[in-house]
């Protein structure tokens, strides 16, 4: 074993760690030295979603000690940033195994450092945490969750005073403070219990009122209150708020998928508790078919991602991808605000660089600014902060099933998304239309955009090296053509340079540095490569587009675009 790794292992075996942790390490030493090395070869770092990893003993694992040390570092940074005055933080957690324990440890460490803590009485969706930071005037916040990851994972999302996740320089500075801790003996574990206030219903009511204020056509809901809605929280925290929000919106015919209604960190009915996965939505689809529903919705364990199912043009149930959902939601907010006379000249919308460019086209043709930011809602929150004095934020989103409507919170919010998507379905039904028909109308008007995603997993130390080598190879030897179409541009967000291969020109990318590459092809296709910030994988995003002259041509054009994406994947020799 590498000497540095062995040194970390020894420090845990000889340190002030509990006996069960030491026993777990000794068992790994005897039975699985490779897993032991993976558990200690590095310290967990904040990525696009904060601190996230497999639960277990080790510096590269989520456990009470890595949670405690991260919290001590975060507390030190808060005290350094806000000297003298009262510091407040809000803490929440989802349904995952150990999430309540980790939230209580986080609260105890913060409180022991003299920080005023607002701890939710029980699990709550992540967006309510973001909202509550702003509502309570907090300087920071934490939610213990691993979002949509498998049951073995947990995590720690850290937030700043605007309700958004940490961005530079704060994220890097917190890591520096964590690194300074060096030992669990430097963590203040207890002693500030009086600084902890338990919160719950009062914040729920304020949050629900905020979501209700986002409604554009409440009178349509009153006419379509019997819209047949099926909802599944996939064993997560969405059950705490989504049914009540739908009730407050005026919907009276909501059916819950009972097999997935109970919060359970073992996620017994699914492999991945992720509404992006058709398997996770299968029970919902079954119920939707059985009751002839109008719309199906599912949220992930911490209630920030939403998946929807609707009937397609063949009257068959289909799950929308994140780009399609975003197109429908962005267009609804833009069109609806114009129709109701509440649109403002300085309205803006925000998306990420790997989200469909169809949204850019919709915004442009409606005279609204559309900004593109790096992947992760923390960058959308950061842009709102930068622009809020001069521009009015309406909606933001990304392809990974995330939407954020309105600026009263600063993270993706599946709870409000569910409500607005149901309102959209009611609006279309009131016109004798469906959401899929609306999508086809938008394709005819703005062009048909088709996106796809491949995630290639490479676990452990070797996996990280393979992913790094893959990215370096693309940078050093960019392809000249892909799928018989010339590569005309390469955007390297790490070097912050764009290159035009036709005329040799270069330009500076005005976004923070990020390990992302994009290739733009002559036929309008776009390929993006991005190593995940929270998981051992590299993601490839594919976007193609073409004209759709009328709805009847949809299947034909879809087939052409599917073939184009298939050709790109085969030419790039990408395998999962």
Catalytic annotation, residues: 147
Choose among 224, 248, 243: nearest CA to 299.
243
Q: What residues does 144 pair with on adjacent strands?
A: 93
d(CA 405, CA 296) in angstroms, rounded, equals 20
Q: What residues does 369 pair with on adjacent strands?
A: 348
Q: How many CB atoms lie within 10 A of CB 473?
A: 10
- Residue 312 token pair: 């397609």
Q: What is the DSSP letter of 321?
A: P
Choose among 465, 451, 456: nearest CA to 538.
456
- Residue 342 token pair: 């509440």
For residue 165, with 0-12 CB atoms within 10 Å meaning exposed, 13-18 middle and 19 or more buried, which class applies? buried
For residue 220, with 0-12 CB atoms within 10 Å meaning exposed, 13-18 middle and 19 or more buried, which class applies? buried
- Residue whose token pair is 């206030």: 197
- Residue 234 token pair: 């996939």
DSSP result, 9-45: HHHHHHSS--HHHHHHHHHHHHH-HHHHHHHHSS---
- Residue 247 token pair: 């009730």
Compute the CA torsion angle 548, 550, 554, 555 (nearest 10 deg).
Answer: -120
Q: How many CB atoms lie within 10 A of CB 494?
A: 13
Three-state DSSP at 156 gives strand
- Residue 473 token pair: 């190879």
C-alpha pair distances (Å), 323 with each of 328, 397, 398: 9, 9, 7
Q: What Rg do the C-alpha atoms of the chain give, in angstroms?
A: 24
> Which residues have a Cβ under 8 Å from the Cβ of 278 and sit 6 or more positions away?
319
C-alpha pair distances (Å), 216 with each of 174, 249, 341, 435: 40, 11, 11, 16
For residue 197, with 0-12 CB atoms within 10 Å meaning exposed, 13-18 middle and 19 or more buried, which class applies? middle
Three-state DSSP at 415 gives helix
- Residue 20 token pair: 């069960």
Euclidean distance between the first and final Cα of the chain, in Å? 29
φ/ψ of 283, rounded to 5, equals: -65, -35
d(CA 322, CA 301) in angstroms, rounded, equals 17
The H helix count followed by the E strand count for the chain is 18, 23
Q: How many CB atoms lie within 10 A of CB 515?
A: 15
Using DSSP bridges, classify how beta strands 229-232 and 153-160 pair: parallel, antiparallel or unpaired: unpaired
d(CA 495, CA 45) in angstroms, rounded, equals 21
Three-state DSSP at 185 gives helix
């Amino acid at each position: 074993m590498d000497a540095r790794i062995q040194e970390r292992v020894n420090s845990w075996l000889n340190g002030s760690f509990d006996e069960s942790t030491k026993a777990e390490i000794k068992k790994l030493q005897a039975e699985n030295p490779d897993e032991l090395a993976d558990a200690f070869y590095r310290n967990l770092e904040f990525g696009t979603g904060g601190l996230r990893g497999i639960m277990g003993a080790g510096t590269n694992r989520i456990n009470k000690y890595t949670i405690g040390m991260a919290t001590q570092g975060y507390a030190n940074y808060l005290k350094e940033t806000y000297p003298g005055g009262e510091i407040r933080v809000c803490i929440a957690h989802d349904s995952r195994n150990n999430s309540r324990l980790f939230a209580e440890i986080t609260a105890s460490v913060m409180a022991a450092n003299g920080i005023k803590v607002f701890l939710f009485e029980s699990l709550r969706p992540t967006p309510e945490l973001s909202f509550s930071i702003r509502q309570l005037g907090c300087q920071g916040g934490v939610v213990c969750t691993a979002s949509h990851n498998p049951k073995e994972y947990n995590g720690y999302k850290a937030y700043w005073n605007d309700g958004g996740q940490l961005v530079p320089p704060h994220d890097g500075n917190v890591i520096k403070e964590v690194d300074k801790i060096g030992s669990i003996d430097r963590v203040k574990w207890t002693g500030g219990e009086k600084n902890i206030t338990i919160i719950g219903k009062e914040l729920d009511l304020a949050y629900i009122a905020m979501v209700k204020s986002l409604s554009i056509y409440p009178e349509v809901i009153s006419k379509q209150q019997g819209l047949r809605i099926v909802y599944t929280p996939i064993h997560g925290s969405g059950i705490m708020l989504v049914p009540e929000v739908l009730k407050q919106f005026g919907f009276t015919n909501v059916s819950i998928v009972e097999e997935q209604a109970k919060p359970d960190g073992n996620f017994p009915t699914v492999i991945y508790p992720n509404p992006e996965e058709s398997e996770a939505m299968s029970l919902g689809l079954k119920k939707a078919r059985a009751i002839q529903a109008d719309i199906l919705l599912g949220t992930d364990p911490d209630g920030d991602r939403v998946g929807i199912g609707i009937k397609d043009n063949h009257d068959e149930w289909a799950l929308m991808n994140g780009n399609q959902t975003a197109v429908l939601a962005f267009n609804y907010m833009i069109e609806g605000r114009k129709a109701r006379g509440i649109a403002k000249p300085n309205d803006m919308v925000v998306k990420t660089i790997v989200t469909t460019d169809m949204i850019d086209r919709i915004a442009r043709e409606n005279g609204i600014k559309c900004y593109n930011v790096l992947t992760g809602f923390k960058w959308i929150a950061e842009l709102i902060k930068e622009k809020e004095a001069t521009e009015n934020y309406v909606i933001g989103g990304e392809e990974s099933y995330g939407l954020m409507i309105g600026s009263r919170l600063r993270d993706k919010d599946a709870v409000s998304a569910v409500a607005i998507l149901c309102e959209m379905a009611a609006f279309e039904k009131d016109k004798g239309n469906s959401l899929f028909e609306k999508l086809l109308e938008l394709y005819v008007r703005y062009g048909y955009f088709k996106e796809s995603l491949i995630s290639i997993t490479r676990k452990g130390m070797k996996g990280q090296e393979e992913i790094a080598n893959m990215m370096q190879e693309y940078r050093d030897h960019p392809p000249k053509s892909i799928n018989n179409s010339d590569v005309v541009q390469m955007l390297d967000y790490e070097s912050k340079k764009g290159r035009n291969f036709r005329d040799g020109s270069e330009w500076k990318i005005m976004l923070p540095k990020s390990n992302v590459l994009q290739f733009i092809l002559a036929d309008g296709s776009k390929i993006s490569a991005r190593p995940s910030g929270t998981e051992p994988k590299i993601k490839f995003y594919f976007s193609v587009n073409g004209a759709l002259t009328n709805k009847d041509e949809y299947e034909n054009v879809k087939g052409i675009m599917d073939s184009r994406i298939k050709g790109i994947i085969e030419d790039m020799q990408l395998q999962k």
